[in-house]
């Protein structure tokens, strides 16, 4: 390749880096005209699990849930061992690398297990009866888009089937994305996002399939919408400002870290939403995707969402969670959250078995605070 061409490519890459929202300090969003009464949410992997939890806990406000490779509501039942044994298909060797030698014991199995959906349904109804989540009747008519790639070796087919059966019981309007040979990743139709296989370590891949586009059009019942060029402006929210008050912890930054949250969430405002009334979509990354700026950028900018924000009149909220190393929070926490996952087994509510999946869950409260205050004058 000629030297001049090389220089042009290097210059282009440098300009792209400098223009990236992660390469500069971002302002808070300006006042916006948003419909905050109702919104939609989606996620990948643990982000999908949190999207389901948010959608069930606040079903009176969440009109649609997009699920890419995620386990069903309450699947973990408050135990990390059940999360890994029953809801995922991971092997003991991989778990031992993450959490330490004790996860190599025989009680940690590999492969898939049947998920008792009727137990999940019964526990969900009990939480509603105790007013810990919104009434389950609100889930009737809730739009659900669910996808799992046939080559996914993290979330198995049984978890996907349980997800479908759970929402079907509550009369959700379910659309299942056509199965394709994709691994545990957010599939896009952008070849620049890397190979569609397990070698793509940021879990956003070029798979000739725009999952975000199919999902958003389904949730908003606009199948004929067409993507644009993604023109708009990036902003940031300081997540510590939205963490619920924690007894005995006056420092919001310390409270934020106890919950595993990163410093900032990002917000994308398409050009038309600066003047027009728009909706809100919350997009939640998967495990590891919030641990580095590069992986978070791949999800926020490369995951396919922003090209649909303008056509569907959506402001996009991208919250971010980081890792908690074992013992970081104290000797009582030997597991932590070393993969930077959203809480779908109870690491933020260790004394409340199902607390992580209710309206009072600290991560869910933080997300709702951001939705409620997004675009309002400070």
User: How does pLDDT run across 258-291, given as a tens digit for each residue?
Assistant: 999 999 999 999 999 999 999 999 999 999 999 9
Task: Evaluate if residue 2 carries a pLDDT over 60.
Answer: no
More confident residue, 319 or 93: 319
Of 144, 348, 88, which Cα lies nearest the Cα of 243?
Answer: 348
Neighbouring C-beta atoms of residue 60, cutoff 10 Å:
14
Beta bridge partners of residue 187, listed in sequence order? 205
pLDDT, residue 84, reads 83
Alpha-carbon span 102 to 108, nearest angstrom: 9
232-238 and 264-270: which strand pairing?
Answer: antiparallel
Q: What percent of the chain has pLDDT over 90?
A: 76
Task: Evaluate if residue 74 carries a pLDDT over 80.
Answer: yes
Task: Evaluate if residue 106 carries a pLDDT over 90.
Answer: no
More confident residue, 86 or 30: 30
Residue 1: band (very low, low, confident or very high) from pLDDT cuts 50, 70, 90: very low
DSSP 266: E
Residues 94-106: what's their mean pLDDT?
A: 54
Task: Evaluate if residue 349 carries a pLDDT over 80.
Answer: yes
Alpha-carbon span 289 to 301, nearest angstrom: 12
pLDDT, residue 249, reads 75
Average pLDDT taken over every residue of the chain: 89
Half-sphere exposure of 24 (CA within 13 A, CB side): 13
- Which of 111-120, 206-215, 217-226 bottoms out in mean pLDDT, i.e. has the lowest? 111-120
Length of the chain in residues, anyone? 378
CA distances from 76 to 37, 49, 85 (A): 30, 10, 9
Q: What is this structure's pTM?
A: 0.90
Alpha-carbon span 245 to 51, nearest angstrom: 22
Q: At what angle do helices 362-373 and 46-57 cross, to 10 degrees?
A: 70
Task: Evaluate if residue 93 carries a pLDDT over 90.
Answer: no
Task: Evaluate if residue 101 carries a pLDDT over 60.
Answer: no
Task: Evaluate if residue 6 carries a pLDDT over 90.
Answer: no
Q: Under the phi-then-psi rule, with left for phi > 0, alpha for psi from -120 to 50, and beta for the rest, what region is 35?
A: beta
Max Cα distance, the chain (Å): 70
CA distances from 289 to 45, 124, 130, 257 (A): 10, 29, 35, 17
Residues 339-353: what's their mean pLDDT?
A: 95
């Amino acid at each position: 390749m000629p030297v001049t061409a090389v220089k042009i490519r290097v210059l282009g890459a440098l300009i792209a880096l400098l223009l990236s929202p992660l390469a500069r300090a971002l302002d808070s969003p300006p006042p916006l005209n948003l419909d905050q009464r109702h919104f939609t949410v989606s996620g990948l992997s643990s982000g999908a699990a949190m999207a389901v939890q948010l959608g069930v806990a606040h079903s009176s406000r969440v009109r649609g849930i997009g699920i890419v490779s995620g386990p069903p509501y309450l699947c973990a039942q408050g135990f990390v061992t059940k999360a890994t044994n029953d809801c995922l298909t991971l092997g003991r060797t991989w778990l031992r690398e993450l959490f330490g030698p004790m996860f190599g014991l025989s009680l940690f199995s590999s492969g898939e297990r049947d998920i008792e959906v009727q137990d999940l349904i019964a526990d969900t109804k009990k939480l509603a009866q105790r007013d810990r989540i919104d009434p389950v009747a609100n889930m009737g008519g809730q739009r659900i888009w669910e996808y799992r790639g046939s080559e996914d070796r993290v979330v198995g087919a049984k978890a996907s089937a349980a997800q479908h059966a759970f929402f079907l019981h509550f009369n959700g309007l379910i659309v299942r994305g056509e199965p394709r040979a994709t691994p545990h990743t957010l599939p896009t139709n952008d070849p620049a996002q890397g190979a569609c296989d397990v070698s793509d370590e940021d879990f956003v891949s070029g798979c000739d399939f725009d999952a975000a586009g199919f999902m958003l059009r389904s949730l908003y019942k606009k199948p004929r919408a067409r993507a644009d060029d993604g023109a708009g402006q990036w902003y940031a929210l300081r997540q510590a400002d939205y963490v619920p008050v924690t007894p005995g912890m006056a420092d919001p930054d310390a409270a934020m870290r106890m919950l595993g949250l990163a410093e900032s969430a990002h917000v994308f405002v398409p050009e038309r939403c600066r003047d027009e009334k728009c909706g809100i979509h919350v997009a939640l990354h998967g495990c590891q995707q919030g641990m580095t700026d590069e992986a978070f950028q791949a999800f926020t900018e490369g995951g396919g969402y922003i090209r649909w924000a303008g056509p569907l009149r959506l402001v996009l909220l991208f919250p971010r969670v980081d890792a908690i190393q074992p013992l970081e929070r104290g000797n009582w926490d030997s597991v932590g959250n070393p993969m930077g996952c959203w809480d779908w087994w109870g690491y933020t509510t260790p004394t409340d078995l199902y607390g992580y999946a209710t309206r009072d869950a600290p991560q869910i409260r933080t997300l709702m605070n951001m939705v409620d205050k997004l675009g309002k004058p400070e």
